[in-house]
Structures are given as structure tokens and as C-alpha cells.
Amino acid sequence: MKTKILINSFTSCGGCISSIIELEIFPDIFDSVEFVYFPLIKDAIDIEKCDIALIEGYITRKDQIKDMKLIRRNSKKVISVGTCSIFGGISSMVKEIPLKSVNQIIDLDGFIPGCPAPPELLGNSLMAILNGEEIILPENNLCSECGLRPENGLKTKVKIKKLLPDKPPKKCLLLENVLCLGPITRAGCKAKCIESNMPCEGCMGTVSREFTANIINFLASLDVSNDLLTYEGLFFRFSRPDLPT
Amino acid sequence: MDLYSILAHPIRRKILLLLEKEKLIHFTSLLNLLNLDATGRLTFHLKKLGNLIKKDVKAYRLTEQGHLAIKIMKHSQSILSGEDIESIEIRRPSIIRIGILICLCANEIADVLDIDSIKKFVLKLRNVVSVQIFENLCQEKNLKLIETWYNDNFVNKIVIAACSPRTHARIFEDIFTNFLKKDVWKNIEIANIREQCAWVHIFDPITATENAKILIEAAVNRVILKEEIPLGEKIKTQKSVGIIGGGIAGITLALALARAGLEIHLIEKSPSLGGKVARWNSIHDIEECATCILSEKISEVVREKNIKIYTNTTLESISGSVGNFELVLKTHPRYIDPKKCTGCERCIDICPIEKENEYDFGLNKRKVVFIPFAHCYPYAAAINETDIEKCRACRICENVCKNNAINLDETAKEVRIHVGAKIIAIGSELFKKLSFLKHDPDNDIITSFEFERILSSDGPTKGALIKLSDGNLPESISIIQCVNGTNKCSKYCCILAQKYIREIKKRIPDCEINLFYDINRLPRNSIPLHDPLHRATHFIEGLKIEVKGKKKYIIADNRQYESEMIILNVIMIPNASLVNLRQFLDFYPDDDGFMDKRTLASGIYGCGSVTGPMDYQSTISDASKVAIKVISLLSKEYLIPEPYRLKIDPNRCGLCGVCVSECPYNAITLEGNKIHIDQFQCKGCGMCVPVCSTNAIDLITDTTAQLLKTIEVYSKIHRSTKVIAFCCESCGYAAADAAGLKKIQYTPNVLIVKVSCTGQIDSEFILHSFECGFDAVLIVGCHKNSCKFIDGKSKIGKRVELLKEILPELKNKIQVISISAIEGDKFASIVNESCKKIKKVA
């Protein structure tokens, strides 16, 4: 019997779901899998009973909460894909709407972070779920994968002056006075941004603690120039802490 | 049923082994441990075991026959499959059984708190098996009672509800070491119900009791999370010391340490021992010729068999750790064999090439081949490595040397030595950027050190106090104090000026002397010492020197002082070699650029003016201080480290190295793909913990998990306003204790969490406190510059600042407080005030 899969996206850019289609395993997956609900490739009718539900996006409307609960009731496993669903992501920067991430509404059986989720991690995780195994996420930070990691760590106090490098970096971006969030970000994307001369922005979320707590601890240990600190996107681009109001 | 048929079934064997390990197991936990789902099956096997086990207080335990059966089982492993014996080898029990000891403290606690209700409450907590109440727990007579209680109840973790851990933790540990052995560290947690409940909420016994319950519950949760503490490996110590720098500090240290029986390697960069003191005329207070004192000391060093002297030698690299370092030294060529050279100076007489004499600060010239100074060691000629190309072109000196001591083709040699400790005593340098004061020795505007050379009998004027420009006696001399770029106190130029005034008066009694302090350049915190006998001391604002031909004027406060000689009393600045040394010695420079002693890695010491400006006397006393430290370190055969304070999970570590820069003591090093903690250097402040985003690094005593759990438990208390206070162990927590000891009453709405240093407080703790429902967070740490761990307070200050900036809703809810350990009343008033403030807002 084929495994029944449901894929739905809530408020999001749809990037993570699209990257499922771009996976290498995608064409072959049809032999063992049946998509019961996948608005991107076939007409969506009703949320049916399924084995695995993959969901993406942030919850911004009340009817989405209803759908969310319905999906939970009808599926054996619910996996959230992408940063939006678990940490809030870009959509959490909208302050007007009372927002919630998926894991605050229902229990999840696993999550795959990333904005969008890196294809390798997504493919491996999907295969693991289909085989009935647990998703294994890297427990390290990005520096463990980074090619520019300094041999002896950051020996001196790092001064941060800018958000983007002027020229392709030759050594650790932090040592070139560029703010890179690699040290507080979960590994798993193989440092793609840094390979293309961009600092890490922390889309994979953190391994432990909330993102905000981590970034405060991290920035307080550096010497960051004041004009950068006023830039709110630095702190809340992918996550906002839940404080009681 | 015979014994062998009872033991035939693996489940029954397992039950026996489990009971031996855990001593006392409830039916349900036995079910879980055996992974059985049917209660009937377990009841059947328990019945079959018969008199080998018995049921006691709702739980099963082994009888004497049971113990015998296990013995037989172990003897005849061959008849059993063996596999289950290996799988449950006798380890430490895994079921946590917590016992709680409540101390009444001679009714100090019992008078306020309702002990019965506390007892009822804590017995319901998870994993708590027994509660025992003592009149005075800290007295030794209770030892026997505690031990029987401990053994009868099969307790393996203890929570003590009594007084502050600051006063009594050591006493309790000593008591429990008798039967807990080395596990004492991981098995005890103290709930401070005396200083934090009974003594500070005397008039509100009901809320005080509630607080006590919460404190004990938090301690129970903390003790559950406590893990084993690994012990470090012991290191065999090398009974030798490497001293880098052969100045007065290095020489004094070498003598002191050699006489204590240690082997000394004295390493000096220049061709002779002596350093800066060799150039001075006299030493303040002693009024004796500096070279005389120094030459005496040098000859003592030379005579001492335990001292090996390496001149012309630099340090290339260092490896190893405290107790056993390997130093790689490079001995630069001297080109003249000091063993063959007799010091006849024939080569110097014939040498045609001249250069500036650095020994006299360039006041006169010397030959390229030279003897550094009259009392130098080794007393032999030398050529600097930089000048050798000129010498190789000339080679005249080779012909005149009768002993064939000169070898102009000598090359550098590498030497490897093993030492147990190393001392850096490379001294400092003198402030050089003097153009703003028109420094010019040819026009008699000289520095204090050049003046020393003029006074000195082996100097350029052969000890005559004359003007360098024309050789006449000066009629008026001005001394300008504290000559520096920024406002830094030289710590010695006041007494130096006194020395100069006396010296000048002695030699030229009619000479007019003016002493100037420039207020603009005067360091903020220093009080100039001025000589009461000397009246012409001027404190002026904005000093200028004007040169008109041969005449020099000091213009100050619109007045003009003519003087024939001007002495600039310069300050010491950090040694330029310090920057190079930082590559392989771990330390941080302080604000002035000198070596910060506190940040040195273990087994490395700084001595003398490398750590800051110092005069002769302070250097000598500093040397003996360092000597005591080194002797006490190396007096042991092995170095046995204390239990680790920090643990690292190498699988989670991403090697980002942020912790390396965060550690104030340089205890963490990262080399290639390995992170290493220097167990001797780590002081357990925990400042590295918050910056580790993967939680790979954590303290062993106050772990992040324990503190988060404490916050959660504390938040369960029912109050209209709740405040949580994170107190650092040495100041904040001590101040809270002081409030308790003085019985200063404060609001019961505040609950105290102990952290080792405020630098350990994670932003997550603060955010988590608000998430859990606390109305405000207080961070109570030490006063400015008095942090036990150097800069923990400033680190949390930065975190809080950032937090307030990006989450403005928390602006009025977080407060960082400075307090000292004795300010109990201040603690009480701050806590009361902040609670009132929150009520107002609400």
C-alpha cells in the first residue's frame, strides 16, 4: 500500500513546498507515495485521512487554526517544513495580527528548519520519515560546516562594523568586521550563503535556546557599532520571543 | 522449589540483580525496569522468588537468602547464559531516591516556619522518599543518626533545608563525605530556608512557609539534575622554571627560586643580564649606586649552580601545559665566544665602525663590537646580529684577538628546555614620542633616563652634572612631571623627582630647580607627592617649551621660566615584545596595554614592570610574591586538579570559538578540530556558557538546565506580584544572606536564584522568567571593578542593555544592581522598592 501524504501551506512564500518538487527523489517518490492533498500539483478537495502531513507557513487567520487542528486529527504524523512554521520566519515581523507558530497550536512529530529548507536536509528527512525513522537534525552550529572557520577560534574581541562584506571574504567574516550569525545558527545548509560571499542570517534557527536569547548573548560578546543595533531585522527576521502581554 | 529452578528464568535473575543494585524497588518501577507490560507476569515471578525477596514499605528488597543466591549466581556463571549478568552489571543505582533533611536551627527556623506542613508538602514531591528533622544538623553528634537514616531508607541524593550554602556548605560536605565518599559533590543540594525565609519574613509566617516549600522543591529538582563530576588527570611536575627576561625582576626571582631547589633557566634577549636598573645612577631610598647592587646580584646568580643563563636568546615557541612546558629557544650568535674572551678590549680599540650607544640612550657613540657595560655578565665583547654584515666586510678584529675568540660566521642555535612553570619578566619600555616637548639632548632638553646616565659615573659625562651642549654647570634646572601621551600615572615619577632634587642640591647647591606638574596631563586618580622641603613646585595648566637659540623657556600660566636644562620625567609604556608574546602565551593586555596578571594561563606568571609601571622596591617585592606562588605550585610531585568545573560535549561543539574570546582567564583553547579546557585555569565563572549556542559547554554545578528548572519551580508560587532575583554568589547572594543575618525584613514576593557570576546569566533566563510569569527580574551583582571574575558584571550589563533596546516592553522590568557582600540593608530596600514599583504599574 502506498503511503498517503498530505501537503499544505499556510501564510508563507511557498518556497519550502516548491523545493519538495525540486528534490532529486521527487519523480521516483510516486511509486511508493500517494499525495492525497497537494494544492501545488493537483486539485485540492478535502483534507483526508493520511499517514504523513507536511505543513509550511505561519498561522495568521482563525480558519487556519481550524484547518491545522483538522490536519492533526486526520494524520498519523505531522511534520513542519521551513522556518516560518516553527520559529515564525519573515511573516512574524508583521506585528498587527496576533500570530502563532504551528508548534504552539498542535503537537508536531518533527520539523525541518531553513528558509527555504535546504534540499539535502529536506530529502534525507523525507526519506527518514517514509522509512518510519526519526528526523536527524545536526546538533552543531554552522561554524562546524564553514570553510572559513578560524583555526584557533576568535582570540581577540571582534568588532562589527557592517552587515555585508565589500569583497569576497578570505577569512572568517567576523574577523573581517562583518556580522555573521553562523556561530548561533544550526548547521545543515553546508554554509551556502557564506560560499556565495554572504554572511549567515540565521534562517535555520538555533540548536538550543530561543533565537533572540542567543543573538543577545552573541552580540553582547562582540563589539557591535551602534547604528547596526537599531536594525530590527537583525533580531526578529526569523524569530520573535513569546512574552506574556 | 530448589534454588536452581528459581534462577533458571532470566526475568527472575534480572529481578534479583536489579534489587541488588537499587536496594529497594516499588512494584511499578520494577515493571518499568523489566520492560514488562503484564502485571500478572511480574506477580508470578515475584511469587516464585519466594523467600529470596520480601516486601517492605510497599517496595521489594532482597533478604539474606537473596544475597546468598546472587553470590551463587555469580560463582556459577557458566550455568547461566551470562548475557543478562553483563547487561546489568553492578553500577550506581539509577532510581533516584531523595532524602530531605530539615534543620530547625535551635528553633530559629521552627519558630517562624510551619515545619509539619513543610514535611507534608515535600513528601508528596517526586522521588522524595524520606524526610528527617534535626535540631542542629551541623553538629557532629548527628553523624551516626544521619548515616543510619541514609542507609535504612536507601537514599542516594540529599536535600538539606537549612541555612545559607555560603556559610555551611563546606561543613555539610565534610559531614556527608564520611558515607557519601567522593559522590558528595553530586548528591547534595541546599535550600536556604533560614536566611531567605525564616529570618527575613518573621512577621509573615504563612508566606514564609510557602516560600520555604518552593525553595525546597527547587532544590529537589536541582539535585535530580545533578550529574557525576569527572576528575582530571594528574600531571607530573618538572622541577624547573623558565624566566624570560634578565632584568632586576628576573634576577631576583631566579635567586629566590634557585635557593628553593628549583632548576632555573634565565633567558635574556640582550648580550648581558641587568636590564634597565644597570643604567641607573642610584636607587631611591637606598641612595646607593645601582650598578653596585646589581653587579652583586649578578655575581650571586652566576655562582648559583641551579641557574642556567642564556644571553642573546629569544623565545620561539611554547607547548605543553602547567607542570610540563616545552620551550623552544633561539640563541642568536654573539660572534665572540664568551668562554675564550678575556675582555681585553683590543678588538674594541681597533674597530673602525661606530654607532649610537643604546646603553646610554644614544647620548654618545660606541664601536660595533662592544662590551655592554662595566659590570655586565658575561663580561665579554659582543656584536649585534644586525651589524654583522659590516663586520664581515672588515674582519680587522679577528687578527688582533689573541685567544681566537672571534668567529664572525657563527649561526643561531636552537635549544629545547622543559620547565614546570614560566615567568615573564621582560620589563617595559619608555615613552618615546617626545617631539611635542621639543626633546633634544644636544640642547639640554633630556629625559629622566638620559639624566640618570649623566649622573652615573660610567655615563657619557663620567658622572659630572654638566650641560651636554657646552660642558658647563647648569644654573637652573626644570623638571616636568608625568610626561605621557594620555593621562596615565607613572607611579614612580614623583619619587624620582625627589631623588633628582636631592642629587642636584648636593652637587650644585646654588642651582635653581623648578618642578612642574601639568594639570591637563595629570592622571585623574593620582595625588602628586611633593617634597615639603622643595618650594618651587608648580601646578600649571597647559605647559609649553619655547626654544630661542640656546635659551630655553618654559611657558606656563602666562609666566616664563628660563632654564638651562630641562628634564622630562617620562612614564613607562608596555614592552613592544608583548604583542609577539601573545601569540603563544595566553593573556590579555589591560586598559593601558600592560599584561593583565589575572588573565594569565596557569603555570605562567608575570613579574615586574611587564605588568604595569613599577619602581625598584615594588619590583623586588613583586618578585618575591611570584616566587612564593611558583614554589607552592612546583613543590608537589604531581599536580592533582580539582574536580572539573566545566564540561564540554565535543559532539555538539561547532568549534566557532566564541567562548575562547569570552573566557576572562584564557582557560579555553581551540586548536584545529579540538577544544580544550585548562582545568587549572578555569575558575568556574560560567561566562562561556551563555555564548555557546549549541549548549555544548556547561558548568557542572549550576547548569543551565538546573537554573531553568529553578525558574520554573519558583514561578509556581501564588502571589499578586512575583520578582525573581539572580544573585552572584560572592556579592549579591552574600548581601541577601547579610540581610538575613541582620534580620532585616523584606518582601516575600522576591525569590532568589544563586548563580556563580552575573556573567553566567543567560538572556534566556531573563526571557524565560517573563514567560513563566514573573513581573520583574533583578540582577544583583558586584560593584564596578570588584567582580571576582574580572568583568562578569559588564557582560550581563551589555546583555541587559541590548535586551531593553530590542524589547522595549521589558525596559522597566529588568534592573541591574551593584551591591557588596555586607550591604544587607541595601539589598532589602532595593527589593522592597522594585516590588512597590511593579505594584504601582499594575
pLDDT digits (tens, 9 = 90+) for B357-370: 888 888 888 888 99
Please state which CATH number belongs to domain B641-698: 3.30.70.20
**How many whole angstroms separate alpha carbon A216 and alpha carbon B473?**
67
**Can you tell me the distance from the alpha carbon of B568 to that of B448, in angstroms, rounded to the nearest whole number?**
6
Residues of CATH 3.40.50 domain(s) within chain B?
A: 98-225, 702-841
Question: pLDDT above 70 covers what percent of chain B?
Answer: 93
Indicate whether A244 pLDDT > 60.
Answer: no
Contact (CB<8Å) B658/A153: yes
- pLDDT confidence of B161, banded at 50, 70, 90? very high
Query: Contact A217/B691, CB-based, under 8 Å?
Result: yes
Residue B87 has pLDDT above 60, yes or no: no
The answer to whether the CB atoms of B694 and A243 lie below 8 A apart is: no
The pLDDT of B21-43, averaged and rounded, is 83
Q: Residue B529: which pLDDT band, with cuts at 50, 70 and 90? A: low
> A144-160: b or e for each residue (b if 16 or more CB lie within 10 Å)?
bbbebbbeebbbeebeb
pLDDT band (50, 70, 90) for residue B177: confident
- Give the dihedral sign, CA A91/A93/A98/A103: positive
Closest by Cα among A96, A98, A72, A99 to A84: A99
List the helix and strand counts (H, then E) for chain B: 27, 41
State pLDDT tens for residues B123-157: 999 888 889 998 888 887 888 888 888 888 888 88
- State whether the Cα torsion A97-A99-A105-A109 is positive or negative: positive
**How many CA within 13 A on the CB side of residue B219?**
29
Of A153, A206, A217, the CB nearest to B661: A153
> Measured between CB atoms, does A190 come within 8 Å of chain B?
no
Which B residues 746-775 touch A at CB under 8 Å? 762-764, 766-767, 770-771, 773
At the second CATH level, the architecture of B702-841 is 3-Layer(aba) Sandwich (3.40)
Q: How do strand B421-424 and strand B369-370 relate by DSSP bridges? A: unpaired
**Whether residue B353 has pLDDT greater than 70:** yes
- Give B838→chain A minimum CA distance, Å: 15
The residue ranking higher by pLDDT, B139 or B212, is B212
Query: What residues does CATH 1.10.10.10 cover in chain B?
Result: 3-87
pLDDT of residue B88: 47
Find the residue in B nearest to A157 (Cα): B661
Q: For residue B196, is pLDDT > 90?
A: yes
Task: Assess whether pLDDT exceeds 70 at residue B586.
Answer: no
Torsion of the alpha carbons at B337, B343, B345 and B346, rounded to the nearest 10? -60
Helix B27-34 and helix B39-49, axial crossing angle in degrees, nearest 10: 100
Residue B842's pLDDT band (cuts 50, 70, 90) = low
Q: What is the pLDDT of residue B76?
A: 66
Q: Which residues partner with B728 through β-bridges? A: B755
- Identity (one letter) of the amino acid at B509? P
Residue B86: its pLDDT value, please?
47
pLDDT digit string, tens, across residues A111-135: 999 988 998 899 899 889 888 888 9
- Read off φ and ψ for residue B746, nearest 5 degrees: -140, 170
The whole-number pLDDT of residue B85 equals 47
Average pLDDT of the residues of chain A = 85
How far is it, in rounded angstroms, from Cα B96 to Cα B90? 16
Whether B59 has a pLDDT exceeding 80, the answer reads yes
For B536-555, write each residue's pLDDT tens digit: 788 887 788 888 888 888 88
What is the mean pLDDT of the segment spanning B681-697? 88
Domain with residues B98-225, CATH architecture? 3-Layer(aba) Sandwich (3.40)
User: Which residue among B694, B805, B807 sits closest to A140, beta carbon to beta carbon?
Assistant: B694
Please judge whether B694 and A213 are an interchain contact, meaning their C-beta atoms are less than 8 angstroms apart.
Answer: no
Q: What is the per-residue pLDDT for B220?
A: 94
For chain B, give every residue range classified as CATH 3.30.70.20: 641-698
Confidence at residue B806, expressed as pLDDT on a 0 to 100 scale = 83
Supply φ then ψ for residue B248, to 5 degrees: -65, -35
Report which DSSP code applies to A88: B
Span B624-654, pLDDT tens digits: 999 998 998 888 888 776 667 888 888 888 8
| SS3 label, residue B137 | coil
How many Å apart are CA A158 and CA A176, to the nearest integer? 9
Number of alpha helices (DSSP H) and beta strands (DSSP E) in chain A: 10, 7
What pLDDT band is residue B193 in, cutting at 50, 70 and 90?
Answer: very high
What chain A holds in terms of domains, given with CATH numbers, is 3-130 (3.40.50.700), 142-236 (no CATH)
Q: What pLDDT sits at residue B89?
A: 47
Confidence band of B612 (pLDDT split at 50, 70, 90)? confident
Contact status, residue B338 vs residue B378, Cβ threshold 8 Å: yes
Chain centroid to CA B119: how far?
43
B705 touches chain A (CB under 8 A): no
Those residues whose C-beta lies under 8 Å from the C-beta of residue A157, and which sit 6 or more positions away, are: A222, A223, B661
Supply the CATH classification number for the domain B429-573.
3.50.50
Q: Does B652 touch chain A (CB under 8 A)?
A: yes
CB A93 within 8 A of CB A84: no
pLDDT (0 to 100) of residue B717: 92
Best probe of the A interface among B582, B591, B676, B693, by most A CBs < 10 A, is B693
Interface of A with B in 210-229 (CB under 8 A): 210, 212-214, 216-221, 229
- CA atoms of B437 and B459, how far apart (whole Å): 24
- pLDDT of the residue at B800: 93
**pLDDT tens digits along A74-87:** 999 999 998 888 88
Q: How far apart are CA B167 and CA B172, in angstroms?
A: 10
d(CA B59, CA B705): 31
Q: Please judge whether B802 and A216 are an interchain contact, meaning their C-beta atoms are less than 8 angstroms apart.
A: yes
Nearest-Cα distance to chain B for A173, in Å, is 12
What average pLDDT score do residues B377-391 get? 88
When mean pLDDT is compared across A43-57, B189-203, B279-293, B730-744, the lowest value belongs to: B279-293
Question: How does pLDDT run across B68-79, given as a tens digit for each residue?
Answer: 888 887 776 655
CATH fold, domain B3-87, is: Arc Repressor Mutant, subunit A (1.10.10)
Of the pLDDT bands very low, low, confident and very high (cuts 50, 70, 90), residue B217 is: very high
Mean pLDDT score across all residues of chain B: 85
For residue B120, the model assigns a pLDDT of 92
Is A26 an 8 Å CB contact of chain B?
no
**Could you give the CA distance from residue B574 to residue B611 in angstroms, rounded to a whole number?**
8
How many CB atoms neighbour CB B35 within 10 A?
8
Q: How confident is the model at residue B752 (pLDDT cuts 50, 70, 90)?
A: very high
Contact A207 B653 (CB under 8 A): no
pLDDT, one tens digit per residue, over B775-802 is 999 999 988 777 888 888 889 999 999 8
pLDDT digits (tens, 9 = 90+) for A172-212: 999 888 999 999 999 999 998 999 999 998 888 888 888 88
Instruction: Decide if pLDDT at B191 tops 90.
Output: yes
Nearest to B694 among A141, A217, A242 (CB): A141
List where CATH 3.50.50 sits in chain B: 429-573
Taking Cα atoms as reference points, which of A83, A218, A45 lies closest to residue A143?
Answer: A218
Amino acid B322: pLDDT: 80
Residue B662 at interface with chain A, using a CB cutoff of 8 Å: yes
Of residues B249 and B576, more confidence is placed in B249
Query: Is the CB of residue A154 less than 8 Å away from at least one CB of chain B?
Result: yes
Q: State residue B526's pLDDT score.
A: 64
Q: What is the CA A195 to chain-centroid distance, rounded?
A: 19
